[in-house]
Structure 1
C-alpha cells in the first residue's frame, strides 16, 4: 500500500511569509486608498479599525497563526530528527515560544486596539516578542547541534537578523516604557503619542525582518515530508527519504 505524502514542507514557511507580508500590505493599500489611514505611517494594528481592510487583517492573522503553528512544529520535528538521542527540553522551549507567537497573532487580530486596547497590546507583545525569542533560541539550538556547519552563511545571516529584530523590539519597548514614566499616553490608539511614527516605522521593519527570517526556514522544511501513517502512533512528519518507505512490494503474478 502506498501512503500519501507531500515530498517537502518547504512551501509552508514560504507561504506564511508571503501571505503575511502581502496581506498586510494589501490591507494598507486599501485603507489608504479609501482614506481611512494616513499614508505615513500607520501601525499595522490600524489596519483592523475599519472595513473592508479589517476583514483582510483578521483573515491574514488567522491564516498566519495556522501556517505558523505548522511551521513551528515542522522545525520542532526537524531538530528532533537531527538529534534523536538528545534531550528534548530546549526543542520544546523553542516550540513553545513559536506557538505563543501564533497565539499573540490571533489575539492581536481579533481584539482591536480601540475596543480592547490592553488585550490587543498583550497580543502584539506576544506576537513580536515571542517571535524574536524564537529566532534567538532557534539560532542557539542550531549552533548547539552543529547544524550550522552545513551552511555557515545562512547561520550568520540568521544571527544578524535575530539580533537586529531584538534590538528593534527593545527600542519599541523602551519608548513605551519611557512614555509611561513621563506620564504620556502610550496606547496605540492615541494619535498624540509623541513617538507614534517612529514606533509604527519600527513595527513595519519588525514585520519585514520576521518575514525574511521565516523564508530562511525553507532550508530545514525542504528536508521534511508529510505522510499519512498506518496508525496514529507513527510520525506524520518524516524525513523526505522516508516518505515512500512504506510501499508494499508488488505481488508476483500467478503463473498459469
Structure 2
C-alpha cells in the first residue's frame, strides 16, 4: 500500500474518530477510500474496539417501522422472495418479471422504506430481475426464514406481523398478488337469441404451494370483504380465485394488475 505522511494519517484518523465519514475524509485528503478504511480499521484494532455495523432495523433499535411498506414487502417475500443468511452473505431477494418495471420499482421502494441503511440493488437474470437488499437484519423482520423452500416448512405470522397486516391488509394483498398472483381476463360464450355471444370477465389468482401462505392470503381477503374460492389445477388445490364482480372491483381499486 502506498505510504502516506504520518501527519496526514493522524489527522485523517482524528477526523474519523469524530464521526466524519470515510468518503468525506478520502475526498478531503485526495486519498483512496480503501486506504482511509484501512486506517480506520487499524485504529480500531489499536484501541481494542470491535466494529459493529450501524443498523436501522426496527426490531433491534425499537424504531417504529413504516408499516405500509412492511406489509407490502411481507406479501412480496411470502409470494416470491427469499433470504440468504450465511456467515459472510446476508440478503433479501425479491424476484420480479423483467417487463414489469413498476413492480420492480415498488419492491425496491418498499425495501428502502422499511430499512434505509442497507444497500439495495437490481440484478438481471434470465427473464427476471432480482431486487436485492444486503443486511443480516432481514431475518429479524422475516422470522419465517428457514432452511429449504417455504412450502416445505410451517409458515406462521408473528403477532406483531398480524397486527401490521390487519392495519394495512391491502398493501399485504398487493404484495402477494404482484409476486405470486395475476389478474387475467377469462371468456365464455352464451347463446342469446339463437346466436353465440362472447363474454369476457376479469378475475384474480394467487397461486402458491404452501397451505400456510394460501391461508394468510385468504385471511387478508376476508378482512377486506373480498370473496374467494380455491380452485384446483391438475388435481392440486394451489389456486385462490377471485371472480365475483364486486370483489374484482375491490381488487381493481386497491391492487390492480402487475405493471
Higher-helix-fraction structure: 1
| Higher relative contact order (CA closer than 8 Å, sequence separation 6+) | 1
**Structure whose alpha-carbon radius of gyration is higher:** 2
Normalised to the residue count of structure 1, the TM-score between the two structures is 0.25
Normalised to the residue count of structure 2, the TM-score between the two structures is 0.25
